[in-house]
Structure 1
């Protein structure tokens, strides 16, 4: 497993997403929420394959609790890095600094308890709007309850640059994939890396839309099909599947620290580990993808606009 170094911490370039541990998630999810025995098998396969970082959130059902229990049972808590997210602030908390501070402190205490960690290695604001309350977290860092702070960003370029330039954020989680290159084109990957700000990529498969069977694509999203077919032709010509093309395209960008992948089964862990082991794409294939221009409606590349499922 290839690793990146961030603030003297070695992070595997595959970061395992665990939202599925706490609730059914994703347009392509067909197996639902794995039970605890399956979670242990998934984590064991990932760790044995070299994965040492895991993504969760206070808002992901009981994902934090399950992950913390499983890592403790597997006796690997001290060998891995868990990235979690603050509970989103309510409108009342967002508008009142005192309420926001209390809510963020309560979120940290709850995450420490559920994850069974004295110090949370990295916590992200789950919503960009909440990041205005970044100063409220300094006492938690000084007390050793929280080490680093970052932010999970939306699909639109602009704000991530301000977070990097401010020096207040140690990590960004950004959506990016073969069809959504808005952040990539903005130069934020490079600018963040230059300031030692970690870049974690989510939505590598566009929440499953890139890799689900074509016949299963919801009617409202079928405008993606022509673009998918062009990418499928590139992957076919290269002798790999579309999922591998999607992952290795992101691995081809040195400024990306880790790529976040959610899984539901051990088989999916093993498949993705094999794809990561093959490393970046050949330069000519990478260039061929970048030469493609997909004029897709915003609805297609912004999952937050999709109808609930």
Structure 2
């Protein structure tokens, strides 16, 4: 596993991180989740990425990971970077989501209990709150770090203008933003087209991207439609059939490019994301150990040359997107 420095900080990340958005909730197989975590760690994945509402149901991914951590990973805690987030809907009532101090700090306390840890390495504001002053949201992140409940602060899915302001507010509070987390893939290039990746490089802020495979769309499974049992076919998932259908022509064209390059589509997609110097790590999901190993095999693929990069751009040119989904 190659490791990359997170911006100009002292923290190193594996090139590929393990995300718990799907496949680790109470609707999933706990023992397979355990095997995936063991295998990921054995393969050098030292970053586990969570959020308060991951599951389903919300909170269950943290509960299951917490159980596995306490049973199997206690002696490895200092070898792990564990992150969690708050900002999306988590509980009923007026304080269950978005960016108030009330929500973020209450959520962090709940996450620590579910994860059975004293602190997380990174605590993110999961999304910008259009109704709450940035100073309030950033003060919650500062409090999390100053209290020792988080080692670092991070931001996720903030558009560039708001991101710049948030980073400055944190700096004025004596807290440096360690990392930014956006969706980023061949099919979703908005962090690049909006200039976010270049700005992060200039500022020395790390970038850990999620959905590098566009929730599985950039894998061979969707080349011929939506197979039974896939994420798009699951009622509790976030990937909808109409999203796949809208991208079907691009998926097939990219699959042809990958085949011509002698690699599967998901390896092409991972190599494309990891080629960018601003990207510290790419978060992947896995339903099985075999799927995890298959995705990690992308690290053995050769870098993409200028000819295939140009061909990818021709199939799926970047389009500005004002607000990320997820």
Same fold (TM over 0.5): yes
CA RMSD of aligned residues (A): 3.0
SS in 1 for 2:282: strand
Aligned pair partner of 1:8 in 10, 16, 19: 10
SS in 1 for 2:215: coil
Change (3 A) 1:81 1:277: farther
Q: Is the 8 A contact 1:2 1:277 kept in 2?
A: no
Q: CA deviation at 1:158?
A: 4.6
In structure 2, C-alpha distance between the alignment counterparts of 1:96 and 1:180, rounded to whole Å: 24
Q: Which residue of 2 aligns with 1:43?
A: 37
Q: Give the ranges of 4+ consecutive aligned residues of structure 1 lying more than 6 Å apart after TM superposition.
A: 94-97, 295-298
SS in 1 for 2:88: coil
More helix by share: 1
Q: Which residue of 1 aligns with 2:52?
A: 58
Count of residues in Structure 1 that have an aligned counterpart in Structure 2: 291
Deviates more, 1:251-260 or 1:209-218: 209-218
Q: Which residue of 2 aligns with 1:307?
A: none
Q: Is the 8 A contact 1:40 1:70 kept in 2?
A: yes
Aligned pair partner of 1:68 in 53, 66, 71: 66
User: What is the TM-score when the length of structure 2 is the normalising length?
Assistant: 0.78
SS in 2 for 1:122: strand
Does residue 234 (structure 1) correspond to residue 257 (structure 2)? The answer is yes
Deviates more, 1:87-96 or 1:240-249: 87-96
Deviates more, 1:76-85 or 1:220-229: 220-229
User: What is the TM-score when the length of structure 1 is the normalising length?
Assistant: 0.82
Structure 2 unaligned residues grouped into runs of 5+: 227-231, 233-240
Q: Is the 8 A contact 1:18 1:55 kept in 2?
A: yes
Q: CA deviation at 1:128?
A: 1.3
Q: Is the 8 A contact 1:172 1:199 kept in 2?
A: yes
In structure 2, C-alpha distance between the alignment counterparts of 1:295 and 1:182, rounded to whole Å: 7
Q: Which residue of 1 aligns with 2:237?
A: none
Aligned pair partner of 1:201 in 206, 209, 216: 209
Q: What per-residue deviation string (whole Å, max 9, x for no partner) do you get for residues 78-112 of structure 1?
A: 21101111253788449999xx3233222121112
Q: CA deviation at 1:53?
A: 0.2
Q: CA deviation at 1:250?
A: 0.4
Q: Which residue of 2 aligns with 1:215?
A: 225
In structure 1, C-alpha distance between the alignment counterparts of 2:116 and 2:282, rounded to whole Å: 25
Change (3 A) 1:220 1:288: closer
Q: What per-residue deviation string (whole Å, max 9, x for no partner) do you get for residues 149-169 of structure 1?
A: 212206x66544444555463
SS in 1 for 2:225: helix
Q: Which residue of 2 aligns with 1:151?
A: 155
Q: Which residue of 2 aligns with 1:86?
A: 86
In structure 1, C-alpha distance between the alignment counterparts of 2:191 and 2:289, rounded to whole Å: 31
Deviates more, 1:215-224 or 1:58-67: 215-224
Q: What per-residue deviation string (whole Å, max 9, x for no partner) do you get for residues 183-215 of structure 1?
A: 112221122133232211112121122323322
SS in 2 for 1:204: coil
